[in-house]
Every structure is written in C-alpha cells, then in structure tokens.
Chain A
Amino acid sequence: MTLGLRMMLSLWGLAAAALWLWAARDLPWPTWPFVPQGQSLDQIRMGWGLMPRGVVALLAGAALGLSGAILQVVLRNPVADPTTLGISAGAQLALVLATVFAPGLLVKGQWPVAMAGGLAAAALVLGIGARRGFAPVAMVIAGMLVGLTASAIATAVTLAQGQYLLSLVIWNGGALVQQDWTGVRHLALLLGLGAMGAALLARPLRVLSIGADGAAGLGLNVTLVRLTAVGLAVVIAAGVSAELGLIAFVGLAAPALARAMGARGIGPLLALSPVLGALILSLSDGLVLAWAGTGGQTFLTGALTGLVGGPLLIWLLPRLRGSTPPGTEAGDGPAPRLARPGPWLAGLAVALVVAAGLLLWIGRVPGGWAILDRESLAAFLPLRLPRLVAAAGAGAALALAGTMLQRLTANPLASPEVLGVSGGAALGYAGTVFALAAPGALILGAGTAAGGALALAVVMAFTARRDMPPERVLLVGIAVSALASAVLSAMIAVGDARAWAILAWLSGSTGAVTLPVALILAGLALVVWMAGLALSRWLALLPLGPAIAGGLGLDPRRARVVLILLAGLATGAATLVTGPLSFVGLMAPHLARRMGLARPADQLTGAALIGAGLMLAADFGARMAGFPYELPLGLFASLIGAPWLIWLMTRRSP
C-alpha cells in the first residue's frame, strides 16, 4: 500500500467522520448507563438514532464491499456485483410481493423473505451459469436478465397497488435511518460471519484465479468452491438488502477501487474492499445527514451511493489496470448460420405486416373478443394506428441501436439499455418534469434527448480513448445507469404527482402518442436502418478489433463516434415512447443472431423486424392483459422478453 493511498483513505475517513460529527453537532451525548430511561429526547436521538446509523453505514458498506469482492473474484469478472447478478433485484421482488400479497410473512422481519428472494435469483443465475461452465459473460447476461425481470414484475405490482408505493420506493432507495441498535447487531453478525467465510475461502479462491481447468488440475473442487463463495456473497448481500434496502453500487465500486489502488491478489482485495465499501457508504450517509439534517428521514442514502460511487468509478476507469484474465472460459456455443437468409427475412417482414393488420382489427370488448367491422375500424383507426406505428418504430430503433453497439464493442452485453443511454434519457425526462411546471410533449422530448446525449457524451469520452477495451466501456455505461437510477429513486421518493408521472413513464406507455410523433419515430428507425446498411462493412470489421480494423485502413475512433451517435439518436427517440425499461435493444440482436442471421446487413434487418414485432406483441399484451386498464408497454416487453431469453440461455447450445 503506497503512502498516497494511505493518505487518501485517511482523508476519506476523516471526511466521513467530520460529516457525521457535523450532523451531530446540536445533539448531546447520552450519559452512562446506556439505557433510554432517564435520558432527554435529544440524547435518545443521538444514542439510539444517529450513533447506530453511523455504525450501520460502516457495517453495511463493508458487507457490500466484501460481497462484491467475493463475486468478482469467484466469477473472474470485474463487473460482477450483487446488482449485476440479479441478487438485489430478487430480494427486492420478494419483499415487494410479500408486502403486497402476504404482509403476514413480514411479521418475523424482512430477513427471511429477502434472503429467499436473493437466493432464488442467485440459484436461477447459477443454474444458467452451470450449464455454460460458469462462463463470466453468460453469468452476467443471465444475472442482468433475471434482475430486469424481477424489477419489471416489482414495478408492475407497485403500479397496481399504488397505496404501497411510497414505502416500497423508500425501501428500494435504501434508507439508513435507525431507531435502535438491532440493525447494528444484525449487520455486525452478518459481517463477522462473512469475514470468517471469506478468510476460509481466500486460498481456494486464489487457486481458482488461475482458471477453472488449472484449478481442477491442482485438485480443487471447482464447483464446490464456486457454489460456496457465491452462496456466501448472496447471503451477505441479501442480508444488507433486508436490513436497509437496495444500496446499489457499493459492491461494484469498492473492489474496483481497491484494484485501481493497487490491491494485487485475492487476499489484499478481500481485505481492502470492505474498508473501501465502509468508507463509501459512510461518506454517502454523511452527505445525506449534513444535507438533510437529522430530521431528513426520507432522504435515501442508497440513492446517494450512486452519486458518490458513480462519478468516482468513472474517474477511476482510465486508471484501472487488469480486468478479466485472458483465457476465461468461452461463452455461448457457436450460433447457427443460415445459408440463404433472404427468404427468412422476407418471412419476418410479412409476419410483421400481418401481425400489425391483425392487431388493428382484433380487440377486446367488455365480455369477450371482437373483430371490428368497417365502421368501428374507421372509429378505432385514429386511436390504434399511432400506437401501433410508434411501438413498431420504437422496437426497430432499439433493435438497430443494440445491433450496432454489440458489433461496435464486440460485446454481446452491449445495448442502449446497458450502455446508460436509456438511463441518461430517463434522467433528462425526470429533470424536465421537476424543473418545469407543466412541460409539453416537445419540451419533454427535448429534455429526454438531452439527457440521453449527455450520457452518450460521457460514454463517448471513454470510447474515444484508443486503448479502452469494450468491458471498460460497459462499466462506464453501468456507472452512468446507476447514477441515473440513483437520482431517479431520490426524485420518485418525493412521492407527489410528479413522482407518479415519472414512474408511469419509466415503465413505458404508447397511450398518449399522436400520429405525427409515431410517423417521425418510424421514419427515424427507417433512416437509422438505411444508415446501418450503408455502414455494414464497418459493422463486419469492428468486431475483429481495432488491430485488424485499423490495419485495413478503418479509423476505429471515427467509426465509433459515428455509430454511437446513430445508436444514441435511435435510442433517445425510442425511449420517449417505451421508457427506458424495455430491453428490446439487448434481445432483438441476440434473437436475430440465434436465428442464424450472421452477416451484418442481415442481422440489422432481422433485428429491426424482430424488435418491431416484439414491441407490437408487447403493446397488444399490455392493452389486453389488464383490460380495460392498460399495463405499461415497456414493462410488458421486458416481462415477455426476459423469461424467453432466460429459457433460451438454459438450453444447452447444440
């Protein structure tokens, strides 16, 4: 550990302590004996509110840092953490379901419920991973899909049960408010057990770090070590979730920071990450305390960890050395390849048109289904056509953006949703809603586009660096997304009508789209598609990496800027209609590739058609499932898409 590092750590510690002391400046210290009886109200607030809160911040941060470090080591993946593996979302879903449907389960506390949810999510992800030899990429894809599905369901339930909204949102944002020392006792126990487990696992994990084959050759039971380590990390993360709610990012940021600070090897990483996690969370909580005062009960510390951790991680990324070691296990098996994709593409196009026509005619009426006659069609057409066109256009645009980004980064995980463009756009939307009294559609659109462009600019600042590998770009995207969702949770937690507006938009709705807007969106998708076809040679060259592409005279930097701008434009426009939640942009390119569309032009076209079809289906489902009420479109898209993709991943590749 260098001198500078030690100085930095102590500075952070001092800052966190100073913030806490500043928050406590007006409160008297409690007197001995340490029992509430006979103390003044302020002494109680100090001794049973502020003091345990400070300790809880340290403990929870340390626990999350440890959990993230274990996951990153065992999966050999620098972007693994409780959030990216779906563990936190699983715990959240379990708590939401229990709150709404079976409050009785929560009588014994939130621990068992959250634990069960987190473990179920982790088991699902591990189950998929096991079929893929625990390949890191496959695991994170699976984890993110499980996480997205879980939060989509949780949001749907939340929307359906408005009266619980505020308490659920508060839990989601992670509040560190304490009323006594039980939280401290729970977390201390959790951290103690976790630390013991980590100490025991350190040596097997070090052996595992040379790769699964090498470790097995040294006589290590690879599966057992992996299961034990992941299980330990899940228990720690779910425990923190149960006690405090979703505190994103600490588990990702702490090990990344530790590595950037020069922690080499498993032991130092496992030791330094909890310290850094504790500091990050304490600092965040100190800021919340100092800002809102001790009375700021509903301000969310978890939301703020993104604010502190996100920029920190973005700043540190260029200094981050070493990521996934080379020779990590291969991911998916080879996808099939169609010899003659033409007929398939034509078939897709015909199916899309037929589906759109059918959806225009068929509808649900009170008491059953109906096919519209000529008169009703004339009456319904102005209502139905815009939303169909808008849904198809948005789906195609997202799919095109996803295809471009996946090929650009040679990374099957890349998509507008993952790269933070959607998150930035959402932030722009929310900011506009809060800043202006009654913004019109045009101003909202401008705000959304500006937010997306800003997120894009941040990501682009990194992609412009010549030596920035794809997984770092992904990490920037995740950082931007986390930042956006942190701010969003804070905004929604205000809990008034504006929060509802944002929450409704977040899950996406085509209800309010007018025909001109829909046509503009469809036209934009068409333009992006044609641009993509024109640039299909770039899209063939770029996955081969900058060395090959550069050697053939393609300027990778210029190609990146052009493609990212195209993808950003498509995403920004589509996000206005669907909300940022849908992940058609991740799904459609995968589906097209799995169909056997291998050439860039074919994959682009196929993905656009599939994306449009997915969105049409989602729109239909969203209108029909809850008839006569409408479910949000983007939400429905992820509800049908994610389980399907999960099922696809659980199949053994042929």
Chain B
Amino acid sequence: MTLFQIHDLTVRVPGRTLLDNLTLDLPAGRVIGLIGHNGSGKSTLLKVLARQMPARIEGTVLFDGRPLSDLRGRDLARRLAVLPQTTPPAEGMTLAELVALGRYPWHGALGRPGPADHDAIAAALRECGVAALADRLVDTLSGGERQRGWLAMLVAQAAGTLLLDEPISALDIAHQVEVLSLVRRMCHDQGRSAVIVLHEVNMAARFCDHVVALRGGRLALQGSPADLMRAPALTQIYGLPMQVLTRDDGLPVAIPA
C-alpha cells in the first residue's frame, strides 16, 4: 500500500531549487520520519504533501492513488491533517474549542455539530491525555500540553494521515519523548499514517518505522531505522563524520564523530 507517490517533483523559488527531481513512494500505515540538514527540503516536501506550498510545483504527487490537486479542500482535510511548525496563538480560545475546530471538515461552516462530532472531540481529548485541560485557555498551557492539544485537534479531524512539521522542536527532552510516543501509539493502535519532519536523528530512529533522508533537495536514503543508523549513511546525509554507538539495550545512538 502506498500513501504518497511522488514523481519528478521539483520546486523552485527565485534563486534556489528547493526540491530537485524527487521521485519517492511513501508507504501507508507507518510512522515516516523525514530528516536532513537545514535547507535539505524536508519542510518543503511536507508543505507540498499538505498542499500548502505557495510556489509553483513541477511533477506529480498522488495521494491514495489520486492526484493531490484533484481533491477539494474539505475532502482533503477529512483524510489529511496538518500541524505546522509553529502553532499560532489561539487568542481567547479554550482547548475544547480548539479541538472542536478539528471537526470543521466534517460539518463545514453551517452544518450543526451532531453526536458523532461530540464523540470525536471527547475521544480525541482522551486519546491525547488532555481531557482534564479541556476548559483551560490554550495560551496558558505549557509547551508539551499545548502540543498535545494541537495533536488532539488533528485527531478530532479523524484523518487517516497526519503531517507534522517538527512537532517537538520547542519541547524539552521529556516532552519530546511524550509527544512522539503519543504519535507512534496513535498510528499503531488506530492504523493511521504519519509523516513527521524531525531534526533529531536519534529520535527519528527510535520512534519511526520508516525514514526518508533528503540532502540538497534530493533523496539521500530511505529505509528502516536500521538502514539509517550506520556511520557511512549518516555521514553522507549530514556531510559530517558520524559515529554510531550501541546502548546497553541494543539500540543504536548516533553522535558526531
């Protein structure tokens, strides 16, 4: 099963080529980590998949076998949920209201929210462990709580695919593990797919089933975390000598050599 089929994808902005003739298949039902150095094009690729790239795109992207551009806005939002890199301030909004916004693709601007919507909202709050915070203002939550709140909005959207752009970049290490564990559990328990842009290669290796590495807008490597965690592969991706150590429990850890 293929989630995204990307063929000959090129994205240019004046003066730079962000993605260069990229051809790639992303498998469904997996947690896919998108890694690479700064400016490698990983966020650009995620924006293209989320259909939020303002620049012109060359090449084709199929989502579930259909051209991505064919889907109408709300149809796409029912299948694909997106979390941008920086979440905006939600002025004056409670967490429950934020999560309820995730139902917009289902009831639209005018439709009345039905029992199905309320159930989805309650389930999302529970699944992300933020039910107790439902009446708090979003802007008063801590970083980790807020990020779980936004994830709950994505869950309420009931989309089969999640696109997350560096969801842990503003969190401390404990909250990083907490959020990524949540994403992994959400995917494995409910059969969702996720594409996550990650900076930290060790986090990617630990929480992802499948890793795609970009370098200079081209594909550098794709495969399992085990394929990634080899010194030559990492050195090629980051352009820096890397070393892979083995923890006591057998998990590999990469550090700059």
Contacts from A to B (Cβ < 8 Å): 334-335, 337, 410, 466-467, 534-535, 537-538, 540-541, 543-548, 550-555, 593, 598-599
Which residues B33-60 have CB closer than 8 A to chain A? Answer: 50-52, 54
Given contacts A467-B54, A537-B104, A552-B77, contact A545 B88 (CB under 8 A): yes
Distance, CA A598 to CA B140, complexed state (A): 15
B109 at the interface (CB under 8 A from A): yes
Whether the Cβ atoms of B52 and A552 lie closer than 8 Å is: no
Whether the Cβ atoms of B109 and A552 lie closer than 8 Å is: no
B139 at the interface (CB under 8 A from A): yes
B34 to chain A, nearest CB (A): 17
B65 to chain A, nearest CB (A): 20
Given contacts A466-B54, A552-B105, contact A593 B92 (CB under 8 A): yes
Whether the Cβ atoms of A553 and B137 lie closer than 8 Å is: no
Whether the Cβ atoms of A540 and B101 lie closer than 8 Å is: yes
Given contacts A537-B104, A552-B77, contact A547 B90 (CB under 8 A): no
Which of B72, B74, B81, B88: most chain A CB closer than 10 A? B88
Distance, CA A236 to CA B194, complexed state (A): 58
Whether the Cβ atoms of B88 and A544 lie closer than 8 Å is: yes
Whether the Cβ atoms of A543 and B91 lie closer than 8 Å is: yes
Whether the Cβ atoms of A544 and B90 lie closer than 8 Å is: yes
* A596: nearest chain-B partner, CB-CB: B92
Contacts of A543 in B (CB 8 A): 88, 90-91
Whether the Cβ atoms of A599 and B105 lie closer than 8 Å is: no
Given contacts A544-B90, A550-B52, A599-B97, contact A334 B139 (CB under 8 A): yes
Q: Which of B52, B93, B101 makes the CB contact (< 8 A) with A547?
A: B52
Whether the Cβ atoms of A553 and B74 lie closer than 8 Å is: yes
Q: Which of A534, A537, A553, A598 makes the CB contact (< 8 A) with B93?
A: A598
Whether the Cβ atoms of A598 and B92 lie closer than 8 Å is: yes
B88 to chain A, nearest CB (A): 5
Contacts of A538 in B (CB 8 A): 109
Whether the Cβ atoms of A551 and B97 lie closer than 8 Å is: no
Distance, CA A335 to CA B108, complexed state (A): 28
Contacts of B51 in A (CB 8 A): 550
Mark B78-115 against chain A: 1 for CB-CB distance below 8 A, else 0.
10111110011011111001000110110011100000
Contacts of A555 in B (CB 8 A): 73
Given contacts A535-B109, A538-B109, contact A553 B101 (CB under 8 A): no
Contacts of B110 in A (CB 8 A): 534
A337 to chain B, nearest CB (A): 6
B200 at the interface (CB under 8 A from A): no
Distance, CA A617 to CA B84, complexed state (A): 45
Given contacts A410-B88, A467-B54, contact A552 B140 (CB under 8 A): no
B76 at the interface (CB under 8 A from A): yes
Contacts of A541 in B (CB 8 A): 101, 104
What are 29 A-B pairs at a CB distance below 8 A?
Answer: A334-B91, A334-B92, A334-B137, A334-B139, A337-B94, A466-B54, A467-B54, A534-B110, A537-B108, A538-B109, A543-B88, A544-B88, A544-B90, A547-B52, A548-B82, A548-B88, A550-B52, A551-B50, A551-B80, A551-B84, A552-B157, A553-B73, A553-B75, A553-B104, A553-B105, A554-B104, A555-B73, A593-B92, A598-B93
Distance, CA A593 to CA B92, complexed state (A): 9
Whether the Cβ atoms of B101 and A550 lie closer than 8 Å is: no
Whether the Cβ atoms of A335 and B92 lie closer than 8 Å is: yes
Contacts from B to A (Cβ < 8 Å): 50-52, 54, 72-78, 80-84, 87-88, 90-94, 97, 101-102, 104-105, 108-110, 137, 139-140, 157
Given contacts A334-B139, A547-B82, A547-B84, contact A540 B73 (CB under 8 A): no
Whether the Cβ atoms of B140 and A334 lie closer than 8 Å is: yes
Contacts of B80 in A (CB 8 A): 551
Distance, CA A544 to CA B89, complexed state (A): 7
B249 to chain A, nearest CB (A): 38
Contacts of B101 in A (CB 8 A): 537, 540-541, 544, 552
B106 to chain A, nearest CB (A): 9
Whether the Cβ atoms of B81 and A540 lie closer than 8 Å is: no
Contacts of A534 in B (CB 8 A): 109-110
Distance, CA A534 to CA B109, complexed state (A): 7
Contacts of B105 in A (CB 8 A): 552-553
Distance, CA A537 to CA B108, complexed state (A): 8
B11 to chain A, nearest CB (A): 14
Contacts of B91 in A (CB 8 A): 334-335, 543, 598
* B150: nearest chain-A partner, CB-CB: A548
* B100: nearest chain-A partner, CB-CB: A540
Q: Which of B54, B78, B94 makes the CB contact (< 8 A) with A553?
A: B78
Distance, CA A546 to CA B52, complexed state (A): 9
* A546: nearest chain-B partner, CB-CB: B52
Q: A544-B88, A554-B109 are in contact. List 7 more A-B contacts (CB 8 A).
A: A334-B92, A334-B137, A543-B90, A548-B88, A550-B73, A552-B104, A552-B105
B164 to chain A, nearest CB (A): 11
B254 to chain A, nearest CB (A): 30
Whether the Cβ atoms of A551 and B77 lie closer than 8 Å is: yes
Given contacts A466-B54, A547-B52, A553-B77, contact A540 B109 (CB under 8 A): no
Distance, CA A535 to CA B88, complexed state (A): 21
Distance, CA A552 to CA B137, complexed state (A): 21
Cβ-closest 8 pairs across A and B: A553-B77, A598-B92, A553-B74, A551-B82, A553-B105, A547-B84, A553-B73, A552-B104
B122 to chain A, nearest CB (A): 19
A336 to chain B, nearest CB (A): 9
Whether the Cβ atoms of A337 and B137 lie closer than 8 Å is: yes
Whether the Cβ atoms of B109 and A537 lie closer than 8 Å is: yes
* A465: nearest chain-B partner, CB-CB: B54
* B76: nearest chain-A partner, CB-CB: A553
Given contacts A541-B101, A544-B88, A598-B92, contact A554 B140 (CB under 8 A): no
Distance, CA A598 to CA B135, complexed state (A): 13
Q: Which of B54, B73, B90 makes the CB contact (< 8 A) with A554?
A: B73
Which of B52, B81, B92, B101: most chain A CB closer than 10 A? B92
Contacts of A547 in B (CB 8 A): 52, 82, 84, 88
Distance, CA A410 to CA B92, complexed state (A): 12
A590 to chain B, nearest CB (A): 12
Whether the Cβ atoms of A552 and B102 lie closer than 8 Å is: yes
* B105: nearest chain-A partner, CB-CB: A553
* A547: nearest chain-B partner, CB-CB: B84
* A544: nearest chain-B partner, CB-CB: B88
Contacts of B54 in A (CB 8 A): 466-467
* A334: nearest chain-B partner, CB-CB: B139
